[in-house]
Each structure stands twice: as C-alpha cells, then as structure tokens.
Chains A and B, each alone.
Chain A
C-alpha cells in the first residue's frame, strides 16, 4: 500500500529535535565509553546539524563507506573486543552516528529513533541510579514524541509531547504488571566480564586502612528492620574475620572459608533486609551473627556471611540474626590460629602482659580482658583518624609511645595482647552503627562507619565480642563520626551536635533523596527472583511459577489494558468550543457591574448598552464585541484570537462614567 507520509518532506524542526534528543541521550556514556567513540558520534551530530542548512554537505556513499570502516576500526582499537557489552555499545554508538549522516527520508528517522531506544538500554547496563533513570526516561519520552511527530502531517512540539505523555501514562499499567510478573533469572544467560574498583573494606587490615575509609560518607549498605531496631551497642555489622597477623597486618584464614552446616531457623531472630552497595567481594554483612541466611549464601566457619558470587551490583537480601547467639565451637586448628603470634613480640609488650597475669586468675580470662580494657581507658589514648605512621614494632610503639590510633590500632593491639596472654583472639572487621533515615523506615550504614573489633574465646561463653575502641571513645559506639568536623590530627568528633537551620534543611533533603533512592533500588533495580516470589506471596499467588506465572502474566496484562481503556472511556470535561464559556464570563462581568443582561440580546445590543453605561471602557468593549463576532460568525476559528478574546475579557475594567462636579 502506498504511503503518502513517506513522501512528505520532513520538517527541519523535527529533524533538529531528533538530533538534539539523541545527543542528550548519549551524553551519560561519557562515563563509560572511550572518548574517541563519543567524539565520533558528536562529530557526526555536528556534521548533520550543519547539513540542516547546507544539505549538500552530507557525505556521499563512498565517503560513508570509508567512515564506516574507520568507525569499526575505532571500535576494535578502543575496546579490544574484550568486553562484549563495551564493544557492543561502542558499535551501536558509531553506527547511530553514521546513520545520522544519511538521514534523509522519514524511514531513516524511524530507524534512528529505534536505535535511540536501544541506546537508552545500553545506558542502564552501566548505571542504574535513580537520577540517570529519570533523565533517560524523560529522554525516551521525547524520543517517543519525535516518533509521534513523524507520523503526523503537521507536528506541533507541544501537541506531540502532550500526546506522547498520554501514551506513556496509558502504557505504564501494562509495563508495571509485566515488570512484576515477568520471570527473573538468578544468573545471566552468558558470561559477563566487568572490571571495576569499589570502595569498601578489604579482606585484610593494615594499620591505617580503615582510617582512610572512614573519611568517605558513601553509603555501604542500607538496612530495614522487621521489628524494633537493636540498640546502638548491638549494631555490629559483621564482615570478614582476620586470624593471621605479622604485627602490622591482619589477614583472613583461607581455610576457614569452609561452610558451617547448621545455624538453622531461629524463631526469635531479628529479621532485616539489607541493600548492599557493590563491593566486588564475596562476603556480605549481617547483624553480627546471622542465624537465618538468605539463599545463595553460606556462613563460613568464622560466621561471616559469604555469597556465591561477587557483589558487583547492588544486592538486596533478607537475613535474620540472634543477638544472644553464642559461637561456642573452637576447633584445635582455630585454637592454634587464635593464639598465633608474630615472629617477634616486643619485650615491653610481653612484660605488660606478664605484669597483668601476675595479678589475675588464669582460670578467669575475663579478668585479663578487663585489665587490658582498663589499660586503654586509663592511659592517655587518643581516638583519631590521623594517627601518624608507626615505625619499628608498630604495636609496641602504639601502646607505649604514640597512643594515637583508630579502631584498627586498638583492635589489632588488643587481640595481640590477648594472644600473648594465652587467650585465643581474632579481629572482626565490618561496620558499626548506622543512621536512621527520618523519611523512611530504614537505616544507612556508611563507609565512615567501618570498624574493627575483636573476639576472644572464653570457655563457656565461646567467641566473645570485645570492642577496645569503646573503652577509649565510648561515643564512637553511640554516635557516627562527623567526618567534616574531624580535621587532620585532631581527636575524632562525633555528630551529636545541633546543626544550624540551613544545614538541617540540607540534611533533610539528603535523607529524602536517600529514601527515594532506596525505594528505586528495592522496587526496580533490585527486583530479584526472591522479591518477585515474596510479592507474589503477598498477592496470594505464591504457588505460581513457570506456566502458571505466564498465565498470570497474561491475565494481569489484560487487566491492566482493560483498566486503561475503561478509564479512557470515562466521561471527561469536554474541551469543545471555548466561545460560549468566554461569552458567559463576559456577561457575568457585565452583570456584576450593573448592566442589565438579557439572554436574548445579541452581542451588538449588549455591548451598546454596556458602552452607554461605561463610556470610559468603550474601546475595550467594542474590541471584545468585534473579536467575538468574528469568531462566532466568521469563517475561520483561530486559537490566537480565542486567546486574545480571553485576555481582553480578563483585563476588562468597567469604570463608571465620571460625574462632573460643580
């Protein structure tokens, strides 16, 4: 069938809008693609923009072929074809640029619009942040408006944009239903290689490493508790457990990666949901000892929650913890590891421990713990982010000379002291604390909450948590660190002060953004197979899977479509002829001013009567009469004139005739 639309010339405005929206949608790729790829694309856009005025400047077929060869070479050289995602995106981008250079017919714009939709998808492969998503969906809307404009004879920008918004709103219910019910895979169809650097705690601890991390206010994870949140002194988020030490450096035990068989279901455990920012590591964080673990994870023998896959993307999982859980087991190997000492222990350190041993009962290890904590509490130790570098034997120097340290200094030296005293000890790193978002029911744990503490093995109690930092700086456990206030070399400041009004407003906005961001992650980005299952259970469709899910998808989709079409059929205020309404407004105004308005009066009679009463306003009245008569009885109806009439009626002021005095 012949298509008259295809033969119509394209309005330059439409072409310009296409180029603009594609250029805007491409911009976020600046963070992902090689500058040469993006440069190629924007050069093509610029070329095409110039060709809007000079169509002869468009490249011919041979030049296009040469450009295509150059573009493919550029893709191969810049990406090396190592990463399929990156190479594919780069290829799409350069091909879209080339397509722009041969943009002549309406068909070509259709194709570029389609490619534009695909570009949006590639953006999501690199970042799924809420801000970017809002930007991209807005761009998609404009792209759809361009597509709508392509299918009209005359395309008014406002008109097609409004229509595109209407189409989006109508498409949303179906999109959401399918989004909720479409089956999700646990793992990708084929391998994905990504390389990325993450901030967060690493699998080992050197003196100073956590202090550096504590300057970052970036979010580590967010938590939503099922019930009452635990008190601050119980908010220890357990990460890797470190056994080996050389005095300066602590590292995990490879062999302890083996899984624990049972922790089991625990009805008393506190349930919570964690949305973990990508770490690039295997371990997850839980509220100290996780007793109900999420699927796809295991607990290693040090009670660290370990995922089967690296956390390369934001991950949401549910877990439960029991604050009263005792880690009673101690294997022979663990005892040996827990007592392992560096090659050399400084005599002053050994002497200190010997001095304590003389005054405590060896059968009561807790007495030894108390002595050590007293030592930290009573000697002039300072809790600081900038402890300075330690020379020689770091533990000796810290304990007896500098006495300035961050949590890892206290945890590391305390564990060492315990081991010297013959008490098995280990260091746990993770996070401590968290801040509640006032706008939502969740807590935010930041990188600045990174913490290290120790566990000592006490017969009968098992592995027992001791936080020597709490002895030095009890506020650390109660309050988050105020990173901005903690200047280099100073004591660490804790954020319990009263912020100024402007600062409070800013913080409020930040918390609100955090709440929206978590909502976006919980319901869109992190919508996993597990969450889908729980949503279905909540809907009473918990048994659905496979074929049943497909049926539910069909029924749900049909319902969503029905909702849209039934609502489209609802009676709506008609946007018909605006003239009677305007005229009524005019006569109302006259009536209020005292003019005797009779329904049967024509505009001429009425205006003549009004002019007699208000000669001052005669010009305004006659202009209104003229426009109205033209619109009402004339041949053409003109939006501009209707607006002019509306404006004049609004501005009409009826002043009574001035009476001469004297």
Chain B
C-alpha cells in the first residue's frame, strides 16, 4: 500500500506495548458513508422541494448522527492499549500465530479489527471490563526465517459503519519460522543402534559437546557461557558420555538445492529428537555440537531456518 509508506505509525515499546495516539489515527468514509451522503442529499432535496420542516429536521438529525460518528469512530480507537506478544516458532506452511493483547482502557470498544498484510482480519468487541482481551492473528504464506510481521492495521467502523478509522502499529516482535519439514530420509549412521547405555556412566575426560539441560544434571557440567549468550541452558557432554552422536550433515541431505536440503535436515532433526538420539548438525561453515532436548532442537531448527538468510 503506497499510502502506508508515508503514514504515521505507532511504535511499540521494548515490552511490545503501545497506546494508540490521537494523531496516529486516520479516518475516511466507507462506501456506506458515501452512500449515506447521497441519501442525505436526496432527503434534503425532497424536504426543500416540499417545504417540509419535519423532513428538514429528520435530514439534519441524520446529518448530525453522521457528524457525530466521525468523533465516535475516532474515539473507538484513541487510547486503545495493546501488547504485541508475537507467537511461538512454527514450521513454514503452517499459519503463523501472532498474539495481540488489547486493553480498552476502561472503555467499551466494539468491533475492533486487527490485520496484518499477510493475515486474515480478526474482529473483536472489547467490553469495558478491565480484563485485557487476547486476539490471535494468523499470518499465512511466510517462508522460513526470521520475519517482522509487518504493520498491524487496527481499524474500526463502529458505531455507524459510515466511517473507517484506522492506524498502523509497527509490532517489533520478530516471528521465527522453521523450515517446512521435508520427506523422511535416513541420515548416515542413523540405521545403527541408537541406544547408548553408557550415557551417564562415562568419565569426565574429553569434552564432546553440548546438549540441552535436563533436570538432574550437575551444575558444574552446565555450560554457563552458552547460557550467558542466551542459547538456553546446556550441559557439557564429555566423550564416553554420548556414545555415538548422529551427525546430520548438509552434504548427506537429499536434494540438490538449498531449500530441499534445509527441509530434509529439518525432518532429520525432528526424527532424531523424537527418537531420543543425540545429534549434531553440520552445515557449510558451521557445526552444532551433538545434543538432545528442546533447546538443542530449537537451536538446530533456528540455525536451519536462518540458513542462507541475512539474519543468519
């Protein structure tokens, strides 16, 4: 939308919060509004022609309603508070949820419509209770990677439907979209026994890699450095501990283009995770040490999601 390029946009705070300011709201008549204008003109013509004063009064009353509707519609948006919560990562191809919490600020705000360019509109009546209302928008057709959801358009036509007030909110809450899992395949080494009886028996001699933290791991084995880098809580694993880690290697992945390989590796990560196998990920230029658990899974999927993108 060309207009949106230079339109004023409400920015959310670091916590994702925003309050719609009076000067960020645009308002224009809807087609019903234009139709109503024509209706009023015809009614005035009739009233004037027949010198009909009750007709004048009716016409002016309706005109007053329409004039007042400008204010009412604008006020329905002004001061609306919202919190952009974003959503959990999903796989490409699935609808991407984006949760927005709306707070009417002690005022009933019927028929508030929320919409991203890529989403279906969601409509909600906000009552005047003080309970915030959560609205989940679903964005469609988003490829893998880290995406800004674009501008959230909040609009309303209430109460008369004659005018539409809207504003743009820049929801600075990136959405992570994992690659779409490809067809199932068997990575090299996955056919062997996945059991590793000596998982916990090994000494603590050679550092072998990291895996996701599990309750019961010794604090001295937790990799605090990676925690400090916000990679989640990981436990250092030493050789002999993780028997035969499964290496999911870029070069092994079927398919001869990047997307196919990314999809295949995504499938392999999911399979390994569900099989309980320790796995590591090798892609051109980087290696993720073998591990297991949600944090490791997330790390691998995120790596694949961002592979080859500017966010990598």
Contact indicator A124/B52 (Cβ below 8 Å): yes
A185 within 8 A of B: yes
Find chain B residues with CB under 8 A from A31 CB. none
Taking CB atoms, residues of chain B closer than 8 Å to A526 are 53
Contact A151 B161 (CB under 8 A): yes
**How many pairs of residues, A versus B, come closer than 8 Å at their CB atoms?**
164
Q: Does B58 contact A (CB under 8 A)?
A: yes
| Cβ–Cβ contact B158 & A152, under 8 A | yes
Whether the pair A525, B56 counts as a contact (CB closer than 8 A) is no
A138 located at the interface, meaning its Cβ lies under 8 Å from any Cβ of chain B in the complex: no
Q: Does A85 contact B (CB under 8 A)?
A: yes
**Interface on chain A toward B: helix, strand, loop, or mixed SS?**
helix
The contact string, 1 if C-beta is below 8 Å from chain B, for chain A 61-96, is 000000000000000000000000100000000000
B61 / chain A contacts, CB cutoff of 8 Å: 137, 140, 168, 171-172, 175
Contact A171 B129 (CB under 8 A): no
Note all chain B residues with C-beta closer than 8 A to A128: 52-54
Q: Write out, one digit per residue, whether chain A residues 238-257 have a CB within 8 A of any chain B CB (1) or not (0).
A: 00000000000000000000
List of B residues within 8 angstroms of A574 by Cβ: 106
Interchain CB contact (< 8 A) of A163 among B47, B51, B130, B159 = B159
A565 in contact (CB, < 8 A): yes
Q: How far is the CB of A225 from chain B (nearest CB, A)?
A: 24
CB proximity of A96 to chain B, nearest CB, Å:
13
Identity of the chain B residue whose Cβ is nearest the Cβ of A132 in the assembled complex: B54
> Which chain A residues lie closer than 8 Å to B106 at the CB level?
574, 576
Residue among A117, A140, A144 making CB contact with B39, cutoff 8 Å = A117
When each residue 221-260 of chain B gets 1 if its CB lies under 8 Å from chain A and 0 otherwise, what string results?
Answer: 0000000000000000000000000000000000000000
| Docked CA distance A173–B128 (Å) | 27
A117-B56 in contact given A3-B113, A144-B65, A189-B49 (Cβ < 8 Å): no
Q: How far is the CA of A214 from the CA of B15 in the complex (A)?
A: 85
A147, B52: Cβ atoms closer than 8 Å: no
Contacts of B110 in A (CB 8 A): 151-153
CA A345 – CA B144 in complex, angstroms? 117
The closest CB in chain B to the CB of A107 belongs to: B32
Stretch from A176-184, A204-212, A446-454 forming part of the interface with B: A176-184
Residues of chain B from 60 to 77 with CB closer than 8 A to chain A in the complex: 60-65, 67-69, 71-72
- Cα–Cα, bound, A259→B292 (Å): 112
Question: Does residue B21 face the partner (Cβ distance < 8 Å to A)?
Answer: no
Q: Does B142 sit at the interface, judged by CB under 8 A?
A: no
Asked if A175 contacts B121 (CB within 8 A), the reply is no
Residues of A within 8 A of B50 (CB): 85, 125, 188, 192
Contact between chains at A2 and B64 (CB < 8 Å)? no
Closest to B106 in A: A576
The CA-CA distance from A550 to B178 in the complex, in Å, is: 64
The answer to whether residues A184 and B51 also contact, given A4-B122, A171-B67 and a CB cut-off of 8 A, is yes
Chain B nearest Cβ from A587, distance in angstroms:
23
Q: For A174, give its contact among B52, B63, B129 (CB under 8 Å).
A: B63
Assess whether A418 is interfacial by the CB under 8 Å rule.
no
In the complex, what residue of chain A is closest to B164 when comparing beta carbons? A1
Of the candidates A118, A140, A174, A190, the one whose C-beta lies within 8 Å of that of B49 is A190
Contact B129 A188 (CB under 8 A): no
Chain A nearest CB, measured from B14 CB (Å): 29
CB neighbours of A49 from chain B (8 A): none
B307 contacts the other chain (CB 8 A): no
A188 & B47 in contact (Cβ 8 Å cutoff): no
Once the chains bind, are A179 and B56 in contact (CB under 8 Å)?
yes
Shortest B296–chain A CB gap in Å is 36
Q: Tell me the smallest distance from the CB of B129 to a CB of chain A, in Å.
A: 6
Q: Does B195 lie at the interface of the complex (its beta carbon under 8 Å from any beta carbon of A)?
A: no
B149 to chain A, nearest CB (A): 16
Whether A185 contacts B58 by the Cβ 8 Å rule is no
- Name the contact of A121 in the complex, choosing from B55, B123, B130, B166 (C-beta under 8 A): B55
B111 interfacial contact with A, CB 8 Å: yes
A124 touches B64 (CB 8 A): no
Query: Given A114-B39, A117-B39, are A153 and B60 neighbors across the interface (CB < 8 Å)?
Result: no
Hey, what's the 0/1 contact readout for B20-48 against A, CB within 8 Å counting as 1? Answer: 00000000000010011001001101111
Q: List 10 A-B contacts (CB under 8 A).
A: A1-B155, A4-B121, A111-B35, A114-B35, A120-B58, A170-B64, A171-B65, A189-B49, A561-B68, A576-B130
Beyond A1-B164, A124-B52, A151-B110, 15 additional pairs, beta carbon < 8 A? A3-B121, A5-B111, A5-B157, A118-B43, A147-B160, A147-B161, A151-B111, A154-B125, A167-B68, A171-B62, A178-B60, A192-B49, A313-B51, A525-B54, A561-B67
User: Which 3 pairs show the lowest CB-CB distances between chains A and B?
Assistant: A171-B64, A4-B121, A4-B123
